[in-house]
Amino acid sequence: MSDGCGAPEQTAVVTGEDTGDQVVVAGKVTGGEGALGGAYVRLLNADGEFAGEVQASPEGDFRFYAAPGEWKVRALHRSGNGEATVDAAGPGLHQVTIAVA
Amino acid sequence: MSREDVLVTTQWAEENLNTPGVVFAEVDEDTTAYEGGHIPGAVRIDWKTELQDPVRRDFVDKEGFEKLLSAKGISNDDLVILYGGNNNWFAAYAYWYFKLYGHDKVKLLDGGRKKWELDGRDLVKEVPDRPATNYKASDQDLSLRAFRDEVVDAINTKNLVDVRSPDEFSGKLVAPAHLPQESAQRGGHIPSALNVPWAQTANEDGTFKTAEELKELYENAGLDTSKATIAYCRIGERSSHTWFALHELMDLKDVKNYDGSWTEYGSLVGVPVETGSNGGK
**Structural domain for A89, as ranges:** 23-99
* Residue A84: closest CA among A28, A12, A35, A36: A28
Domain holding A82: CATH number? Answer: 2.60.40.1120
Q: Which residues of B are catalytic?
A: 233
Alpha carbon A73 to its chain's center: 6
pLDDT in tens, B108-144: 999 999 999 999 999 999 999 999 999 999 999 999 9
Is pLDDT larger for residue B186 or for residue B112? B112
A32 touches chain B (CB under 8 A): no
- Domain assignment present for A8: no
- Domain assignment present for A67: yes
- Domain assignment present for A13: no
Biggest distance spanned by C-alpha atoms of chain A: 38
Closest residue to A65, CB basis, from B29, B181, B199: B181
- Its pTM stands at 0.92
Closest residue to B180, CB basis, from A22, A43, A52: A22
**Cβ–Cβ of B29/A8 closer than 8 Å?**
no
- Domain assignment present for A18: no
**B125 CB burial (10 A radius; 0-12, 13-18, 19+):** exposed
A100 touches chain B (CB under 8 A): no
B119 touches chain A (CB under 8 A): yes
The ranges assigned to domains in chain B are 3-140, 143-265
Separation of alpha carbons A69 and B199, rounded Å: 20
Structurally, how many domains does chain A consist of?
Answer: 1
* Most B-contacting residue of A5, A54, A86 (CB-CB within 10 A), to test interface: A5
* Residue B27: closest CA among B202, B179, B241: B241
3-state helix/strand/coil string of A54-67: EECCCCCEEEEEEC
pLDDT in tens, B13-72: 999 999 999 999 999 988 788 999 999 999 999 998 999 998 999 999 999 999 999 999
Using the CB atoms, write b or e for A40-76: b if 16+ within 10 Å. bbbbbbeeeebbbbbbbbeebbbbbbbbebebbbbbb
As assigned by CATH, the class of the B3-140 domain is alpha beta
Q: What are phi and psi of A34, to 5 degrees?
A: 100, -150
Same CATH fold assignment for domains B3-140 and B143-265: yes
Please state whether beta strands B22-28 and B79-83 pair in parallel, antiparallel, or not at all (unpaired): parallel
**Cβ–Cβ of B86/A51 closer than 8 Å?**
no
Nearest chain A residue (CA) to B200: A50
Please state whether beta strands A23-31 and A92-99 pair in parallel, antiparallel, or not at all (unpaired): parallel
Q: Would you tell me which CATH number, out of the four given (3.40.250.10, 2.40.30.10, 3.90.1150.10, 3.40.50.300), belongs to the domain B143-265?
A: 3.40.250.10
Please give the angle made by the CA atoms of B78, B84 and B87, to the nearest 5 degrees: 130
**Cβ–Cβ of A6/B233 closer than 8 Å?**
no
- Domain assignment present for A3: no
ipTM surpasses 0.90: no
